[in-house]
Amino acid sequence: MGKHLVLVGGGHAHLTILLNLGRYIERGHQVTVIMPSSYQYYSGMGPGMLSGIYRPQEVRFNIRKMVQDRGGAFLEDKVTGINPGGRILVLQSGQEPPYDVVSFNTGSEVPHQPFLPVPRENIRPVKPVINLLQGRQHLLKLLGEKELKLLVVGGGPAGVEMTANLWRLVQDNKGKAKVTLIGGRRVLGGLAERVRHLVLQSFSRRGIEVVEGCHLKEVGDTEIRLSDGRSVPFDFTFLALGVKPSFLFAGSGLPTGEDGGLLVNSRLQSVAHPQIFGGGDCISLAGNPLAKVGVYAVRQNPILYHNLMAALEGTEMQTFVPQKDYMLIFNMGNGRGILWKKNFMWEGRLAFLLKDYIDRKFMRKFQVSGERDEKE
């Protein structure tokens, strides 16, 4: 007798499952996918969408179409609670769908509390990625009006790429703006000094200001206040303050890691509830916390695909072994990239072209037919 598999979210770690949904259904299982939107945007190309290198259609997956074309059910809704004892999910709409096996790939959020209790049009967290598209549309209206003061708050890889591509957005649309990165204690403090030097050098050549040695303390209507007492005025701000999973798991009483992610074992299975699985940024791997980078979610794809079927049918599961080293390539917004892996660094146009090739190949693998030609 078939069982009910529910997938919550359509991020990187669920894409192989979504592509092969028919295999579960052929074996008699019912599959439901729950997401707050029909589309899933690929974060690796998000900064390029902000600057206009990519159209929105090029950086998103039509998950609704993907699911329905393969015989699954799609619910446009948000999961607000989990009842593991009753194997029930609580949705924003009030519905309470049951499950036999459930997997979460809900990504992460930029924690903007207490800085931004109420979201504003001119202050946007960089996640969810749709915020970058909405921010671009808002900025295009402002660019022709006056010289703008544009801020990015956050000194990690996301903050660097956002700053670089914000500069490109201004240049390509013949606007005037002062672009500033508020980099916290130290921009890219966790990476090799050579990478940091290349980024700062690139920004300096373009007149992008970098502020280090202080943190965001408060966000006002038209200025931010820093921990050293300074105030910095702005017309528009992106918040790239690092990412955390949502409060969903902790709020539902499930075991979580220190960052609030669903605590899973090496089979990507909840340490307390064997019928609950997860992948990507929303999980915390017991004994081996992972950086919030997409490469891990992509590598979890085949493991989740196999283990969800195994959970439905009582067969043997596979183990996820995270790689020790991964590659980062920064899209620097000027047609150049900075590649870093372990002790190897490479800056230039070819680095960006490699990133572009890898990203486009990934999108082609999972996009449904005709998706790039859809109208916005």
Instruction: Please tell me whether residues 359 and 217 are part of one structural domain.
Output: yes
Examine residue 42 and state whether it is found in any structural domain, yes or no: no
Burial of 375 (0-12, 13-18, 19+ CB in 10 A): exposed
Of 260 and 331, more confident: 331
For residues 208-228, average pLDDT: 93
Beta strand pairing call for 88-91 and 101-104: unpaired
Residues 293-305: pLDDT tens digits? 667 778 899 999 9
* pLDDT(376) > 70: no
Do 294 and 279 share a domain, yes or no?
Answer: yes
Question: What is the tens place of the pLDDT at every residue in 236-251?
Answer: 999 998 767 778 999 9
Range of the domain at 90: 4-36+77-109+243-313
Task: Quote the number of domains for the chain.
Answer: 2
Task: For the chain, give the mean pLDDT.
Answer: 92
| Residues 281 and 361 grouped into a single domain | no
Nearest to 36 by CA among 8, 67, 5, 59: 8
| Burial zone of 129 (CB within 10 Å; 0-12 exposed, 13-18 middle, 19+ buried) | buried
* C-alpha span between 289 and 245 (Å, rounded): 13
Least confident window among 37-41, 160-164, 215-219, 336-340: 215-219
Q: Same structural domain for residues 177 and 268?
A: no
Q: Is the pLDDT confidence value at 204 over 70?
A: yes
Q: What is the mean pLDDT of residues 354-373?
A: 83
Does the pLDDT at position 374 exceed 80? no
